[in-house]
Structure 1
Amino acid sequence: MLSGDPDIEIVGEAADGDGIAELVAETGATVVLMDIRMPGVNGLTAAERLSALPSPPHVVMLTTFDADDLVVAALRAGADGFLLKDTPPADLVAALHAVVAGDPILSPQVTRRLIEQVTEPDRDARSATATRQIAELTPGEQRVAVAVAQGLSNADIARELFVTVATVKSHISHILDKLALTNRVQIALLVHDAGVQRT
């Protein structure tokens, strides 16, 4: 399915969640595609281990509706995206290219489940914490963060805000550093938790 794309090289396969981090360290893989539920440790723990590596790979998880209870937690652990297991091969390949380019990927069905997750009873506490974190950003960084949460690419954000792509990348880098985040998905979750909307 993936080997047909000349830009994708499959460097290894892990039999279970326990061996993923070691395999990535050995092969230098830049993208990991894994099931959120697998033998050994689950996708959440595996994502946490991968994000702790010196050069963490992009992580895309395959999921089914019965795994939606782990979606938010895994995104917070560093996953770059979620796709359903029945995602067409062409869409899967496109998604892998997208995460390498820095764009998080969520299937529409998973996005719907994600919205349900972030409206749980503890939302008020998360909202207060997220609001304090967003307040640490400059106005320019806040605008970029909101655009990231809307799923815009760097080029789209640059056009929307009338700045260069380099400026957008710089803002995103500053946001990640200031708030101790690892990827754009975590920026989006924070913006949604804070309830910040585009002005």
Structure 2
Amino acid sequence: MAAMAHLTTPPSGDRTSGDRTSGDRPGAIRVLIVDDDALVRAGLTMILSTAADVEVVGEAADGFEVPGAVAASRPHVVLMDIRMPRVDGLAATEALRGRDGSPEVIVLTTFDADEFVLRALRAGASGFLLKDTPPAEILHAVRKVAAGEAMLSPTVTRQLIAHVAAPGTARPGAHPHRNQALATLGVLSERERDVALALGQGRSNAEISQELFMSLATVKAHVSRLLVKLDLNNRVQVALLVHDAGLS
């Protein structure tokens, strides 16, 4: 993990997976770190601990430990490694995001074209980070996801889909689920569809507000309604659906 290579001394104390790593800080973004590499966990903890508004509240070394760790530490955001023994990050993300009131998930990987990344995003993860991401960008990602924003650009989404698309699609650039995606988007009102297309282009709520001449509160209301109508967990899944439909 290049961004963490210099972090060779883990924080003092021998913590058990799922235990809280520090006292509660009111208003802080609570983060659970899930990775089978103890050095990676220590490095992420040291990076996140530099921010006054972020608190690492627990760790897990395997996807099997995630439900208990989430129940014990009540995180807002989970940093989830994909490749782990026993239960991998994909299965853990699917199980976690299938529950009401679950925390946001950012998956960790060493490859930006990993097919498991796309599957994790479809399962409800809010984005992904490469393990050599600079510390400042890791903090930015945690803050962004905790605020309910997506952290996946349309370019990266298209690259992921292109890398893992099934061979023999009907035409170049077509996604195998295009017709299904178009039908799913058909349940939206015209204004909700406009918002969905903007999400597919990676727009923030503020940008959508300006482009569509809506108040910020109206944009948020539209996003909430279309998530319910589409039975999706977050903005990234909407963006992927728009990409599947060939509309971005």
Fold shared by both chains (TM-score > 0.5): yes
Of structures 1 and 2, the larger Rg is shown by 2
Question: Which ranges of 4 or more aligned residues in structure 1 deviate by more than 6 Å?
Answer: none
Give the fraction of aligned pairs with identical amino acids, expressed as a percent.
53
Q: CA deviation at 1:72?
A: 1.6
1:141 pairs with 2:192:
yes
Secondary structure at the aligned position of 1:163 is classed as coil
- Quick one: structure 1 residues 185 and 142, their matched pair in 2 at CA, closer, same or farther if it must change by over 3 Å? same
1:62/1:82 contact within 8 Å kept: yes
Deviations 1:47-96 (A, max 9, x none): 01111233110100111128712122111111101111000001100011
1:72/1:117 contact within 8 Å kept: no
Q: CA deviation at 1:108?
A: 8.9
The aligned residue for residue 160 of structure 1 is: 211
Q: CA deviation at 1:195?
A: 1.3
Secondary structure at the aligned position of 2:114 is classed as helix
The aligned residue for residue 201 of structure 2 is: 150
Which of 47, 60, 82 is the matching residue for 1:36? 82
Which of 37, 48, 53 is the matching residue for 1:2? 48
1:68/1:113 contact within 8 Å kept: no
C-alpha distance in structure 1 between counterparts of 2:153 and 2:109, whole Å: 10
Q: CA deviation at 1:40?
A: 2.0
Q: What is the TM-score with the length of structure 2 in the denominator?
A: 0.74
- Quick one: structure 1 residues 108 and 157, their matched pair in 2 at CA, closer, same or farther if it must change by over 3 Å? closer
Deviations 1:7-53 (A, max 9, x none): 11111000211111221122111100021111221111010111123
2:197/2:247 contact within 8 Å kept: yes
The aligned residue for residue 72 of structure 2 is: 26
C-alpha distance in structure 1 between counterparts of 2:154 and 2:213, whole Å: 29
- Quick one: structure 1 residues 112 and 146, their matched pair in 2 at CA, closer, same or farther if it must change by over 3 Å? closer
The aligned residue for residue 18 of structure 2 is: none
C-alpha distance in structure 1 between counterparts of 2:203 and 2:112, whole Å: 29
C-alpha distance in structure 1 between counterparts of 2:164 and 2:112, whole Å: 17
C-alpha distance in structure 2 between counterparts of 1:92 and 1:194, whole Å: 31
2:121/2:127 contact within 8 Å kept: yes
The aligned residue for residue 92 of structure 1 is: 138
Residue ranges of structure 2 left out of the alignment (5+ in a row): 1-46
Higher helix share: 1
Residue ranges of structure 1 left out of the alignment (5+ in a row): none
2:93/2:125 contact within 8 Å kept: yes
Alpha-carbon RMSD: 2.0
Which of 41, 46, 60 is the matching residue for 1:14? 60
- Quick one: structure 1 residues 7 and 175, their matched pair in 2 at CA, closer, same or farther if it must change by over 3 Å? same
1:191 pairs with 2:242:
yes
1:80 pairs with 2:126:
yes
The aligned residue for residue 120 of structure 1 is: 166
Count matched residues: 197
The aligned residue for residue 111 of structure 2 is: 65
1:128/1:194 contact within 8 Å kept: yes
Deviations 1:92-140 (A, max 9, x none): 0001101111222237995464131464346554101100011110010
